[in-house]
Amino acid sequence: MPTLSDPLISISGLGKKTSERLNQLGIYTLEHLLFHLPNRYQDKTRITPLSEAQVGSEILVELTIDRIEEAPTRQRQLLCYLSDDNNQRLLLRFFHFNQYQKQALVRGETLQCFGEIKIGRQGLEMHHPEYRITSKQSPLFESTLTPVYPLCQGVTQNKLKQWINIALELLKNTTIDDHFEKMAKNTMPSLSEALFLLHHPRKGENLTQIADFSHISQQRLIIEELAAHQLSLKQVKLRRKSKISNILTLETELSELLSKSLGFSLTGAQKRCIEEINTDLATQHPMLRLLQGDVGSGKTIVAVFALLQAVANGFQTAVMAPTEILARQHEQSFGEYLCKLGITVAYLSGSQNTEERNKQLHRVTSGEAQVVIGTHALFQESVSFDNLGFVIIDEQHKFGVHQRLSLAQKAKKTPHQLVMTATPIPRSLTMSAYADLDTSIIDELPPGRQAIQTIALSTNRKDEIIEKIKQVCAEGRQIYWVCTLIEESEVLRAESAENTFTYLSNNFADLRVMMIHGRLNKGDKEAIMRDFSQGKINILVATTVIEVGVNVPNASLMIVENAERLGLAQLHQLRGRVGRGGEKSVCVLMYQSPLSESAKQRLDILRQTCDGFVIAEKDLELRGPGEVLGTQQTGIAGMKIANIVRDAYLLKQASYYSELMLGENEYAQNALIQRWIDEDKSHYANA
């Protein structure tokens, strides 16, 4: 007799091909079948009178056949007219049928049908319902709610139910590890009780709670799944803490020189983050700290203060950015601070010619370059550091995990790592997807920053913006005009950057209008951005290449065309390119009507708030964790029952239990993790 730990092929009739299909659902063993939970239920526990039927609801009815006919339409349809004792009527409509079906449906027979109630020309209808002829077949009536499971290709509901029921039968006669039972101290159902109830909810169970995933049995499993994910990340963190890194003795000379050279004072939040980073660097264990802050909160200067500790201790720092334009921006902004201190900076990117690349590589290998800034080129095989001790990764969610590890492996000892993001991460995601990282948050903007006024405007009011542009330019300030496409597209109906460039050039012959987009060569892009930074360009027509990192304090007006096509986080990043000086800034979000409901929500949120953390929470609600996490995806979006948006209120409990589990033996910890996290979703940080 099979056991719960046995592979799927131990089930009679379940072959290798089907087993591989089930693997796609994260099902490898019979125990995994138990944790493949229904995503909804059908109620066949009662027969509903037609007088109580509601359009859109799924119900079980028992009615008599009045007549059968084939509809004389282009697509063959079988129509079955039913009624009850009160002469209430229902039409069954079959678009696919055979003669055997037609012959079996005889006038006067009693049918049990289950399906969704629709409204048609003749009244109530069901299309392709599940049905039984009560005189010849077993009834549809069931004593418990009927589970409906997520499926994969080649597997039917009935087959999956059979296999899950085999696992449930085994569960009746065996003991399943219930790591939480003693921790919960009878405040929650046991694991077995929760599983039995959710696979076959009893008649009279609170269906509203089950539909909302707030039933105590669901909460029991949600907490366990969230705790398993947190536990796996906390294990990773402990493993990292056991590694040995270089101890960076706290040096103050360079930091004091930098502080004196700044034309501004650090905020309290920046000072706190620098202190948290320095504390980590002074230990023998490798730091892995996430530095997050809103647009314009001053992450760059915090990173510069951090890398001074590496430089002062004789180690090199690598600064990696996801795009060349951002890497160049870092070369300028980091270089502006570091050159004053006599610190040598090298730059590496994929577009460098051989001579320039070899020159920069020599500076890195020899140790002449104390700070190396670049793109993905930094972790290529040909790059060899003299003494890498500190790694800074910007916009970390845009890198694959293996890329970050490839760079870290170029150090003799595991380097200290600081990962930065300008996209604030909601607390629920930080607890769920980044629990292996220590977090520092810059939750304070520099003094003098004014809130950016955000306006949503239909494209048919484009001419009104012309007057605003004249006013802004007359005051000596500059403008971004952002387009979502480079070339015309009839399909997308989006204004192209080329058309907008022509439109603005024609309207402002006395102003300098330039265009920048991803297809320009590196030299042209750099020249345009340099001219814009120096105030030589009045209006910069751009695609979203200027989304992150570009810093022009004199720009005070941002116009985004087809704003309805962009996500919340991207729009917030674009908006953050203005408002970087002392002047009041405006962001105009232009849209094409009609707006979808989700686009309307996005634009409304941006009009209401400039707080990146509030926006991040809303973005998570609208898009879900999979989209927000990007390449950092660690299985959070593919959870079996938990949903971090819906179940955020349970995260504290999950964190409490995951901490308790860290006190258990390693076998119990790993058993819990393997129960909930698919084998093919292993976490990035095992290296």
Confidence of residue 62 (pLDDT cuts 50, 70, 90): very high
Tokens standing for 534? Answer: 């120096």
Sign, CA torsion 409/410/415/418: negative
Average pLDDT over residues 113-124: 93
**Predicted local distance difference test score (pLDDT) of residue 686:** 43
Segment 677-683 mean pLDDT: 58
Rounded Cα–Cα distance for residues 356 and 362 (Å): 10
Separation CA 53–CA 82 (nearest Å):
14
253-442 — its CATH code?
3.40.50.300
The residue among 359, 354, 407 whose CA lies nearest residue 381 is: 407
320-352 pLDDT per residue, tens: 998 887 888 899 889 989 999 999 999 998 888
Residue 580 has phi, psi (to 5 degrees) of -95, -5
DSSP 670: H
DSSP 174: S
Rg, the chain, Cα only: 31
Q: For residue 82, give the H/E element and its range.
A: strand 77-83
Burial of 56 (0-12, 13-18, 19+ CB in 10 A): exposed
Residue 446 has pLDDT above 90, yes or no: no
Residue 476: pLDDT band (50, 70, 90) is very high
- For range 263-270, the mean pLDDT: 92
User: pLDDT (tens digit, 9 = 90+) per residue, 555-578?
Assistant: 999 999 989 988 898 899 889 889
- In the chain, % of residues over pLDDT 70: 92
Task: State the pLDDT at residue 632.
Answer: 46
Per-residue pLDDT, averaged over 354-380, amounts to 93
Token representation of residue 223 = 């907490």
74-105, pLDDT tens digit by residue? 788 999 999 999 999 999 999 888 888 889 99
Tally of CA atoms within 13 A in the half-sphere of 371 that contains its CB: 30
Residue 126 above 50 pLDDT? yes
The percent of residues in the chain predicted with pLDDT above 90, rounded, is 53
In this prediction the pTM is 0.78
What's the Cα-to-Cα distance from 663 to each of 186, 652, 669, 675, rounded to whole Å? 20, 18, 9, 18
Rounded Cα gap, residues 416 and 288, in angstroms? 6
CATH number of 453-609: 3.40.50.300
50-133 homologous superfamily: Nucleic acid-binding proteins (2.40.50.140)
- Which of 384-398, 491-505, 620-634 has the lowest average pLDDT? 620-634
**CA distance readout (Å), 499 to 486, 495, 507, 515, 544:** 9, 7, 12, 11, 16
Q: Of the ranges 374-378, 394-398, 399-403, 624-628, which one carries the lowest mean pLDDT score?
A: 399-403
Going by pLDDT thresholds of 50, 70 and 90, the confidence category of residue 637 is low
Q: Which of 100, 105, 96 is nearest to 69 (CA)?
A: 105
**Residue 254 tokens, joined:** 């360079």
| Per-residue H/E/C for 298-361 | CHHHHHHHHHHHHHHCCCEEEEECCCHHHHHHHHHHHHHHHHCCCCCEEEECCCCCHHHHHHHH
- Is there a common fold for 253-442 and 453-609? yes
Q: In sequence order, what are the residues at sequence separation of 6 or more whose Cβ sits closer than 8 angstroms to the Cβ of residue 437?
A: 237, 288, 289, 290, 419
For residue 124, what is the DSSP state?
Answer: E
Partners of residue 455 on adjacent β-strands: 588
Q: Which two tokens stand for residue 126?
A: 């069901």
* Averaged pLDDT of the chain: 88
Q: Is the pLDDT of residue 630 over 80?
A: no
Q: How confident is the model at residue 530 (pLDDT cuts 50, 70, 90)?
A: confident
Give the containing element (helix H, strand E) for 620: helix 612-623
305 or 336, higher pLDDT: 305
> Residue ranges of the domains in the chain?
8-42+146-212, 50-133, 253-442, 453-609
Q: Which of 39-43, 67-71, 126-130, 683-687 has the lowest mean pLDDT?
A: 683-687
Long-range Cβ pairs for the range 131-136 (8 Å, 24+)? 131/92, 133/104, 133/105, 133/109, 134/62, 134/109, 134/110, 135/109, 135/110, 136/104
Largest CA distance in the chain: 97
CA gap 574, 585 in Å, rounded: 13
Q: Is pLDDT at 588 greater than 90 in this prediction? A: yes
Band (228; pLDDT cuts 50, 70, 90)? very high
pLDDT of res. 548? 58
So what's the pLDDT on residue 493?
47
Q: Identify the weakest region by mean pLDDT among 367-376, 605-614, 635-644.
A: 635-644
